[in-house]
Amino acid sequence: MPDDATPDPYADPIAFGQRMQILRTKRGMSRPVVAGLLGMSQSWVKQVETGQIGMPKLPVILRIAELLRVRDLSDLTGDQSTSVDLFIGPGHSRLPEVRAAVNALSLSADRQAPPAEHVAARLAKAWQARHRAPNHREVLGELLPGLIRDAQLTVRQADTAAERRVGQAILSEVYSLSQFFVAYQPDSALLWRVAERGMVAAQESEDPHAIGVAAWLAAQAHRDSGPAHFDAADAMTMEALKFIQRFLPDADDRTIAIAGALQFEAGYTAARRGAKGEAWRWWDKANATAARLSPGYYHPVTSFSTAIMGAHAVTVAVELRAGGESVRQAIDADSTAIPSRPRLARHRIEEARAYQLDGQPETALATLERAHRAAPETIRYNGYARRIVLEETESRVPARRQRAAALAEQIGLLAA
């Protein structure tokens, strides 16, 4: 082999500890922070990273993977034969159709655009269908290509500036709906493209609700990219709240709701940072905003409502790694008041995380089974649920191991 040949990256594999250190540094997390969130000592983290301690057991590896937002478990373990996507679900069969609709450049006016009111009505029905469906990605995958094309055409053929702004608000929300389909699928570039186009359309619309929704989703995308992007998530959230603030005195329910949803997002990010006081202060603000909504109101995009605040409290406690508090919040939350099947399933997953944190793995598995019954596609694409199930397939308790294996097969975790 010539001296200038590219070396084989697997000839001298990087050890687990080195991989952990690289990923931790990439996420902008210090050893003390990682140690605290794992419930380990700083010296333990240092010993693992320097190779004084070998690769830990699977339950600990999975907790490290969750903390560092590792997408593929082999990126952390180095074992290329056991590639497991933790925070990216499988590609949906309709993903190519949705991708094609987003990527298409159609400048010719080969048909008349449908009226904006017609597209808006279809969009409202699409949101309703998503909330009612157990397999909501299948429903959205069928509806989105036509909605995207028609919303784009409505903007392009607008006759006046006012009509164009209305069309842009609708187009922005169509992109928002698209993000619910694309999220956690194996095309992160498409997710960011949809998020950016949604934000551009929202800004062109000058509509506070559209801007709030686009910012709410963009903040989530930043936060899910890891701790190094928490500041970007906060900046997006705060700027949107600042813009919406002046509309709130006379706002309708949907604008009030998006303000409340953004307030909770600020609390969510604070909880991910480990800032307990700040996280609960934002939750209190969101809860006060929810109290302003009309009785029974449920925001179609964010699910923000008085009913969802209990579920949000569970999430804050879980992200703060407070096992006992998160279980208490889970017991207090009224899940029967959540009308959306995918949102209910997401809440069940958060409850399962709470029970897992509190050392109740059997209850965690039972709760994940309830999440699966509510909306199979939600748990199939959720990294936290996948982590818990995979961890419990290694349980020393045979009955629990078998239960976890059955659930793993149901959600497609064991698929080749």
pLDDT at residue 2 in the model? 40
What range does the domain containing 34 cover?
A: 16-82
Point out the domain boundary residue: 82, 100, 116.
Answer: 82
Report d(CA 165, CA 9) in Å as an integer. 52
Mean pLDDT of 76-83: 64
Radius of gyration over alpha carbons of the chain, in Å?
22
pLDDT > 60? residue 8:
no
Chain-centroid distance, C-alpha 371: 16
pLDDT at residue 110 in the model? 74
Query: For residue 328, what are the contacts with CB-CB under 8 A and spacing of at least 6?
Result: 317
Question: Would 93 be classed as within a structural domain?
Answer: no
pLDDT at residue 395 in the model? 84
Phi, psi of 187 (to 5 degrees): -155, 70
Question: Would 346 be classed as within a structural domain?
Answer: yes
DSSP helix/strand/coil, 85:
strand
DSSP helix/strand/coil, 72:
strand
The domain total for the chain is 2
Angle of CA points 99, 164, 300, to nearest 5°: 60
Binned at pLDDT 50, 70 and 90, residue 64 comes out as confident
pLDDT at residue 108 in the model? 62
pLDDT > 60? residue 259:
yes
Helices (H) and strands (E) in the chain, counts: 21, 0
Point out the domain boundary residue: 31, 55, 82.
Answer: 82
Average pLDDT of the residues of the chain: 87
pLDDT at residue 215 in the model? 96
Question: Would 234 be classed as within a structural domain?
Answer: no
Amino acid at site 118: H
- Domain at 57, CATH number: 1.10.260.40
Question: Would 374 be classed as within a structural domain?
Answer: yes
Q: Which two tokens stand for residue 287?
A: 């809860």
Report d(CA 389, CA 350) in Å as an integer. 13
pLDDT at residue 416 in the model? 40
Which tens digits make up the pLDDT trace of 159-212?
999 999 999 999 999 999 999 999 888 888 898 999 999 999 999 999 999 999
Point out the domain boundary residue: 36, 61, 82.
Answer: 82
Which tens digits make up the pLDDT trace of 340-390?
999 999 999 999 999 999 999 999 999 999 999 999 999 988 888 988 888
Question: Would 137 be classed as within a structural domain?
Answer: no
